[in-house]
Amino acid sequence: MKKPRCIALVVVFGLMVALCLQAAPRVGAPLTPIRTTNKQGAYTVDTVGDTLGQSSPQNARLIIRVFGADKQVVKPSQIVLVDKSGGVIEPVFREDRKVGHEENTGLPVSAATDGYGGMGVGINLNKIFGPKGTYSYTKVDWPKSVFTADKRLQIVLPNGQAFLLRLTSLAK
């Protein structure tokens, strides 16, 4: 192989390694929650970040819904972060929201196009016939400084079952 090709190959390989290292989150860098759904046995854990910007700027907010095997929403008894040494970090804020108290309450009407340029109005039946009961979701805030890649989210249900999810699976 000629010398210029070797040099070009080494440079390309070096750039690829640098990009891979840059894409990986640093352990100490705060993460930003994203919308994810995780299956844990018969349960489904649905999480999203603060889409409305209601939390304090120094906090990271996670909105959590846990669905049981019967598709009913289950209210967690405890939600904490766990570090590598097993230490528990309690949230600085937790609020359990009731059905009907969502931030986007109101008439469940949505506008849609029919594909031909026409505009139509439809009713979101999922909002009308959606979850029933006294509990809808939980908002939890932690300081951004502790919401890092080396932590895990622990969700404990009233029946004692616990889920342990890596923060990197819930946030970027």
What are 6-37's pLDDT values in tens digits? Answer: 676 666 666 565 555 444 445 568 888 889 99
Question: Tell me: the pLDDT tens digits for 90-105?
Answer: 999 999 998 765 554 3
User: Domain spans of the chain?
Assistant: 28-169
Q: Does the domain at residues 28-169 carry the CATH identifier 2.60.120?
A: no
Residues in Cβ contact with 159 at an 8 Å cutoff, skipping those fewer than 6 apart: none
pTM of the predicted model as reported, rounded to 2 decimal places: 0.66
Q: Check the CA dihedral 82-85-86-89 and report its sign.
A: negative
CA distance 163 to 94: 18
